[in-house]
Chain A
C-alpha cells in the first residue's frame, strides 16, 4: 500500500551502521536474513525458473512435457492473444488515469482540508479493505444493473449514447461492457492510489503554499508549480501500485465483463486451470511480466524518480 512511498532516501540506511556493530557477530545479519530470503528464493524465484522452463516445453498432459526449447510458443501465444494483451494495457491505463483524477482530490482533502475529520476519512478509505473485495465487486453488479437507477440516469443524460458510440458500452446497458470493467478496476485499486498520494502530500510544508500565495501565485498556479511537483513521488508510486495489479487482474473482467472484455489475466487463468495448456499459459504470463517490467522501467526513467524504487 504505502509501501513504495516508504522507500528510503538512498543513503539513509547507512548512517546507523557506520559505527562497527558492537557486541554482535559478523554473521548475525545473515542469520536474520536466512529464513525469509530462503522462503522467497524457494517460493518466488525458483517458481519463476520452473515457469521459464515450462514455457519452452512441448508435449501433452497425457504423455508428459519435455524441454525442447520451443520458443515458437511465445510467438503463437502473442499472435493469438494480442487483443487481450492490448485490452489489459488499455483498461489498466484507463483505470490508472481515473484513479489519479478521482484519488487526488480525496488525498488532498485528507492532507490539507479535513482537520479533525482526517482520521475518520482515513478509516473510511482503509476499512473497505477488510470487507472481501469480491463481495464489493459483486455489489457493482447491483449498482450497474440494467434498468437500475445509475443506468437510468446515464440514459436520461444521454451519456450512454456517447459511450456506446465510442464502443465503451453497448446500447442501454453498462454491465458486461468495457465501461463496467474499467469502473470495477478503478474502484478496486483506488485506495492504492490514495494512500501513497496522501503520504507524499502530507509531507509538504504548508508554509510553501503561503509563500507561493505571498508571491501572488493564484491557487491554480500554486497547485501546478508547488503542490503537484512535490507530490510526484506519490503520483509515481500510486500509478505503479494501480497499473501493475490492474493489468494482471481477471476478477473484474470476469464478474463485470463479458467474453468481449477478456483480459490477459483471464486467458492465463483459463489456460492454467481449465485448458491445462501449461506451456502457453507460462509463455503468456512471461510476456505479461516482461511487458509490465518494460513499461514500469520506462515510466520510472521518464518521471525521473529512479531512487524511489
Chain B
C-alpha cells in the first residue's frame, strides 16, 4: 500500500521524467552509435566499439563542406532576420499607425503555415523569376521564415519594457541616439538575443524549405537526408553528438556567467 501511495504522490514527476527520457532517447542512441564500427553502409545496428569516427570527423566526402555551408547560411540568415525583425518589433510596440492589423497578420501567417506550402510557393516564385537555385535562394527563404520568430521574441521583451526609463534618460539630457544605444538597446538585448538564437537554430536545422529551394546545393540537413538513402556514415552521429554537447555546455556556461554577474551586482 505504501508503494501505491508513493506512486500516486509522485505520479506527475514519474510521468514527466518518462517524457524527458522519450525526448532524450534518440540523443543517447546518436551518441552511442557514434562509437560504432558498422559493417555495411548503414549505421543502424551495433557492431563493435570504435573511436575511429571521432578521430576523423571530416573523413566523409562532402559532409564538412555541407556543415560549413549550413553554418554560413545560418549566420547570414540570423543577421538578416534579426535586423529586419527587431526593426519591425520596435515599430509594432512603440508606434501606433495605420495597417497595424495587416502587419500583425503578415507576421503571424508564416508561423501558421505548413512549411511544405511555403516551400512550394517560394519555389514557384523562383521558377517564374528564372532565379538560379542555390546559396542565395536558400538565404532569402531562411530570412523569410525566421523573421516572424524574431519579431515575436523581440516584441515580448520590448513590450515589458518601462518607457519611463527612456524618459528618465532624456530628462538627464541624453539625445535620441544616446538613449537608444545606452538605454533601449541594452534592455531589449535579451529579447534580441533570444530571437537571434532561435533564428540560428531554425535556419541551421531547416530541411523542408531548403530541400525545395536549394537546387543542387547541399546543406547539412540535406546531406543527412541523402545519406539516409545511400548509407549513413558514423561521422553524422559524431556531429550530432557534438552539436548536442555544444548546446548544453554553452547554455550551462552562459547560466554560470549570468549567475556570477547578478552576484557581483548584489
Contact = CB atoms under 8 A, between A and B. Distances in A.
Consensus secondary structure, chain A interface:
helix
A3 B116 contact: no
A137 B225 CA distance: 10
A124 B200 CA distance: 18
Contact of B247 (A6, A17, A127, A265): A127
Interface in B188-205: 198, 201, 204-205
Interface residues of A, number: 97
A305 interface: no
Contact of B87 (A36, A105, A190, A268): A36
Given A46-B125, A130-B247, A17 B153 contact: no
B123 to A, nearest CB: 6
A48 interface: yes
B205 A133 contact: yes
Contacts of A137: 26
Given A39-B144, A248-B115, A14 B24 contact: no
30 contacts: A3-B111, A8-B159, A28-B91, A29-B94, A32-B90, A37-B88, A43-B140, A44-B144, A45-B106, A105-B15, A106-B16, A113-B16, A119-B255, A124-B20, A127-B27, A129-B247, A130-B244, A134-B225, A135-B224, A135-B240, A136-B27, A136-B30, A139-B30, A143-B25, A143-B26, A143-B29, A145-B44, A251-B207, A272-B123, A281-B120
* 8 pairs of A and B residues whose beta carbons are closest in the complex: A248-B114, A109-B16, A130-B247, A105-B15, A29-B95, A36-B84, A47-B121, A139-B26
Interface of A: 1, 3-4, 6-8, 12-14, 16-17, 21-24, 28-30, 32-33, 35-37, 39-41, 43-48, 50-51, 54, 102-103, 105-110, 113, 119, 121, 123-143, 145, 187, 190-191, 194, 240, 244-245, 247-251, 255, 265, 268-269, 272-273, 278, 281-282, 285-286, 288-289, 292-293, 296, 309
